[in-house]
Chains A and B, each alone.
Chain A
Amino acid sequence: MMPRAASGAAGPAGAAGGAPPALPISALLAGALSLLVGAVYLALDPAVLTGYLGSPRVLATTHLLTIGFVTLVYLGTLQQLPAVLLVTDLAWPRMGLLSLPLFVVGCVLLVSGFAVGVAPRLLASGGILLTVALGLAFSQLLATAATRPPRDPGGRGLITAVAYLFLTVFFGLLLAGARASPQLATITGYPASLHQLFGLAGAFLLGIAASGQKLLTMFALSKGGKTWRLTALTYAIHVAMIAALARAVLPLSGGGDGFDQPLKWLALAGLASAAALQLWEVMAILRRRLRKRLEAPVLRYVASHAFLPLSGVLLLFGLPEAATASFLLGFVGLAVSGMLVKILSFLTWTSVYARRGRREQPPLLRDLVVPWLEPLITWGLALGALATSAAIAMSSEPAAVIAAGALVIGAAAQLAQVVVIVQRTLFGVRRAAPAVAPVSAGVAKGSKA
């Protein structure tokens, strides 16, 4: 079959580009550092997991995890991921020079605002900066998509997830405003559940599902999943978000008394359907894979999905806080951690070896990773997630101590891994032999027809 030149793809022959590599690399490193800071902060007083979960320390830790780690890694990958998912060049590739520092400063202010005992000015200024930074990132993604509208549910899901992320921070800002101003609260209510739901399901679950479908397919050399499942998952999340929004808004307009429970169950059904579809999709991709031996970070991504049913079970048993911990630390934390290592390897390698005139044989991506750190990351974070859920569910201080210790180990191993990846790429590493001998001997034996 004769090859034909690409059509419709961006850049020369369909090659697509992202931002300057230093931008996403910095964001990913800062994200890994945030997770460790959060874990150490929790370890200073692990008993907080057995007390009131709205305490400043718990809120500071939670936001270090959700914003400092997950969202910052997400924003970092958004500097490169659109090129892969949308197959087009990133619009305004230097926008990250503005949005990422704004986001980091906003994160520091917000977390500090919680850590010092809920300081309204710090929270407000942090929230505003985060909203502006995410607004810029969302605009950049929309401008990128405008040059090549996404034709698959993965690309559309990525854009939708970032929209939900923006709304999550916006609801957080409203929540802070409502707590500071009773007048505002009479208008907006206290959108805490919207803040959590839009973040956990709208941004994180949909973001992982949308980007993971393409990335897992690539890394597992799979024939892929089914586009209808990701489309259905996206609609299921929309249903859950709309139901939750209606449940929050109807009482403010003085109505909706009889709708509260139906809307609650509709939201839960949407979430359960989305989680089930994601599990089905991942299993289908794995079943159709040709690469049987998956790398450790990819296995971590896959393993994260075990926390989806666990979160559902905890929710069924009336333990929503433990379910949230399982979902956030277990599913989101492990999935993001797995992709963090893979994506960082790609980014750093590309930043060095795309330069002209390098004659030495570049290392393989797996040469950049320290193998023995991988189980520490996976088991540390997984045990940390399980023990955190147990500590919350059973008010168990020993479980809280185990949780904090395991999270510190996992987060420290992850930070060490990402630092080593950057260090080995920049300063060189002994290159392993290729998995297959080059074909030169075969070529010599070949015959021309």
Chain B
Amino acid sequence: MTSMLENDNWSTTTEFKENDPKVPAVAVLEQLSRVIDPELGIDIVNLGMVYVVAVDGADVAIEMTLTTPGCPLHASIEEQVRTRVGELDGIGDISVDLVWDPPWTPMAMTEEAKRSLGF
């Protein structure tokens, strides 16, 4: 099943893919919202960096991006993602795929995130 999550605060969407999920994709996204970009002080979901959350049984696959290719924070943010998602009960394998297409732009951020940076 593929579904899109939207709400009033979001200018971007994260694509959900679920196949007999042991954990709802939305719960994974909630965990991802605890991963903060240390430079901007905003979580990666509000920054619009999470493109896809796919849950296949107990396994979770995340496709996400960073502000720029070669970002020196990539290893630590990826590790934070694994740690936070791994805190959910019943999680199996976690894969994190950093992608650069489409590239991240500040316009992917939620309105609240944009406001906090003075847009």
Contacts and interface: CB of A to CB of B under 8 A. Distances in A.
Interface string A1-28: 1111111010011111110000000000
Interface stretch (A101-109, A232-240, A355-363, A410-418): A355-363
A443 B33 contact: yes
Contacts of A439: 9-10, 29-30, 33, 43, 45-46, 110
A366 B105 CA distance: 22
A434 interface: yes
A290 B8 contact: no
Interface string B39-80: 111110110000110000000000101011111111110111
A219 B106 CA distance: 12
A14 B78 CA distance: 13
B76 A435 contact: no
Given A16-B69, A434-B41, A6 B101 contact: yes
Contact of A438 (B33, B72, B75, B114): B33
B98 A6 contact: yes
B26 A1 contact: no
A440 interface: yes
Interface in B82-119: 83, 87, 97-102, 105-106, 110, 112-114, 116-119
A438 B43 contact: yes
A365 interface: yes
A443 to B, nearest CB: 5
A85 B72 CA distance: 11
A323 interface: no
A6 B69 contact: yes
Interface string A335-359: 0000000000011011001111111
A362 B114 CA distance: 22
Contacts of B101: 3-7
B5 A3 contact: no
Contacts of A356: 79
Contact of B83 (A9, A15, A83, A357): A357
Contacts of B9: 439, 442
Contacts of B3: 448-449
Contacts of A364: 36, 38-39, 41
The contact size tier of chain A is 35 or more
A434 B43 contact: yes
Given A13-B97, A84-B70, A353-B76, A293 B117 contact: yes
B22 interface: no
B39 A3 contact: no
A87 interface: yes
28 contacts: A3-B51, A3-B63, A4-B101, A5-B99, A5-B101, A6-B98, A14-B70, A87-B70, A290-B117, A292-B117, A293-B118, A350-B72, A361-B34, A361-B36, A434-B36, A435-B41, A436-B46, A436-B113, A437-B112, A438-B33, A438-B43, A439-B43, A439-B45, A442-B7, A442-B10, A447-B5, A448-B4, A449-B4
What 8 A-B pairs are tightest by C-beta distance, nearest first? A292-B118, A13-B98, A438-B33, A354-B75, A354-B76, A435-B41, A87-B70, A84-B70
Interface of B: 3-10, 15-16, 26, 29-30, 33-34, 36, 38-43, 45-46, 51-52, 63, 65, 67-76, 78-80, 83, 87, 97-102, 105-106, 110, 112-114, 116-119
Given A13-B98, A347-B72, A353-B38, 4 more contacts: A6-B69, A14-B70, A219-B39, A435-B42
Interface of A: 1-7, 9, 12-18, 80, 83-88, 214, 218-219, 221, 223, 290-293, 346-347, 349-350, 353-359, 361-366, 432, 434-440, 442-449
